[in-house]
Amino acid sequence: HIPRRSGIPSDINLTCTFGLVLGVYEKEGEDGGFHLTEAAAGFDSSLSGKLSEMLKISGPTPKKGKSRMFYGIHKDFPCVAVVGLGTNTAGVCGAENWDTCKENIREAMSAGCRQLQDLEVSRVEVDSCGDAQSAAEGAVLGLFQYDQLKSKKKTKVTTLLHGSGDLAGWEKGVLYGEGQNLARLLMEAPANHITPSVFADTIEEKLAPHTDRVTVHKRSAWIEEQQMGAFLSVSKGSEEPPVFLELHYKGCPDQTQAPLLLVGKGITFDSGGISLKPSSGMDAMRADMGGAATVCASIVTAAALKLPINIIGLAPLCENMPSGKANKPGDVVRAKNGKTIQVDNTDAEGRLILADALCYAHSFKPRAIVNAATLTGAMDVALGSAATGVFTNSDWLWEQLQKASVVTGDRVWRMPLFQHYTRQVTDSQLADLNNIGKYSRSGGACTAAAFLKEFVTATHWAHLDIAGVMANKDEIPYLRKGMSGRPTRTLVEFAAGLAQQG
């Protein structure tokens, strides 16, 4: 039963749990004019124009992302949300580096579904608005709420496609959205609930339906055998044992095809170690494994989509904690490739665990290596939440990532890899490398990328610094406040694009 809300006529029975979300466009240059989507026009026709009539008398046409509720106008749908899509002339915007039409659809369908969820409607049909995939993504992403540990939970809503035959596009969008929501779930959960072992177990469980194409390795003693001294030096400060999670997705019929290598930073809690972080905001460091979360979630999604491509995912998982066994400023550790690293700041630990993972990644002779990490606060300062910073040695790889981001609306921005930054990390007093810039804190994101580049010999490599996009306040309208799970959908779309290339 849907509770009575103010503004709902008392003679309307809301015992039905069905709702409907429809889209409406504003007519350019025509004050108050509107244009219904194909599905909305069909619904209006079935009511002999009643929906159009009520839209005209109920006020101005809803602006982009704003909704208007109608009650009791259809026997099957007691609650109908009509949501603004902006103008019908929107498309790919070069200045914004995304497809505005797709973004407007995601925002609108998210807003409508949330409003119906607030009315405790448990089954919602969604207008495709001419792009079933984007509509599904908006609905699935917009309804996500991390309330696993709360007594009072949001109504669970089942979404269905309305008025369109593009079921394949809808199902694809659902999988894209669920993939990002998996990353959000992992990132949002408290660090005492998502330890390295629990993280690995969760991903293994999610991949269980795809065991015919996926192999999961959860490695522990193996880490020392591989001489991953940089990774182990970070993990030894914690009571939680480290895990090196290795995922093999074999989706290509040609098993000789070189794999795409995805590497994710997996610090399940980052206190900063001996170089302790300020207590204010430290709770957000439960999401410092956002790189591992997005990489693993993208492989779960690729498996669900049965993408015809081979992918290997690597996630070094551990905590960064202060203790008598932890790294101390000035300590020198040895990475898997033999390079020594002076640890001048224990809070620059992500690059240490990634160094060993990147060395190992090369053993698979990949077609490309992409690593993702919530690596530097400097990236948040540089780009904020507008885009993921991409550092790459490959123009081709950059083009593939940018192309994917335009489709998903989850933007990327290319950053410089100048030799200037390399000198900052190679001039070490005690070792081959310093884990922070030697001369200045300026350009911290670029310095971190230059450090990682010291462990890369592959022709096509990209480092995605996702620190700025880790969380969402209200910047992305179809994501609620909290951890964002970005850029999971872009990684999936990127892999799908490579799969098409063969």
User: Could you give the residue numbers annotated as active site?
Assistant: 277, 351
Residue located via tokens 């496609």: 161
Q: Record the tokens describing residue 422, joined without a space.
A: 């390399």
Dist. CA 391–CA 354, nearest whole Å: 15
Dist. CA 261–CA 281, nearest whole Å: 32
Note whether 6 and 148 are within 8 A (CB).
no
Dist. CA 370–CA 385, nearest whole Å: 20
Residue located via tokens 């959908």: 489
Partnered with residue 314 across adjacent β-strands are 246, 263
DSSP string across 228-258: -HHHHHHHTTSSSPPEEEEEEEE--S-TTSP
CA angle 208, 179, 64 (to 5 degrees): 160
Catalogue the E-assigned strands of 183-227: 214-219
Dist. CA 186–CA 492, nearest whole Å: 17
The CB-side HSE value for 226 (13 A sphere, CA atoms) comes to 23
Q: How many other C-beta atoms are found inside a 10 Å radius of the C-beta of residue 443?
A: 20
SS (H, E, C) 344-365: CCCCCCHHHHHHHHHHHHHHHC
Partnered with residue 21 across adjacent β-strands are 81, 126
Phi, psi of 62 (to 5 degrees): -55, 130
Task: Give 113-117's long-range contacts (Cβ < 8 A, gap of 24+).
Answer: 113/21, 113/81, 113/138, 113/139, 113/142, 113/143, 113/157, 113/159, 114/142, 114/143, 115/67, 115/69, 115/81, 116/19, 116/21, 116/79, 116/81, 116/157, 117/143, 117/154, 117/155, 117/157
Dist. CA 319–CA 267, nearest whole Å: 5
> Which letter does DSSP use for residue 208 in this model?
G
Residue located via tokens 């908006």: 138
Phi, psi of 290 (to 5 degrees): -60, -35
Determine which helix (DSSP H) or strand (DSSP E) holds 140, and give its type and residue range: helix 132-143
> How large is the greatest C-alpha to C-alpha distance in the chain, in angstroms?
81
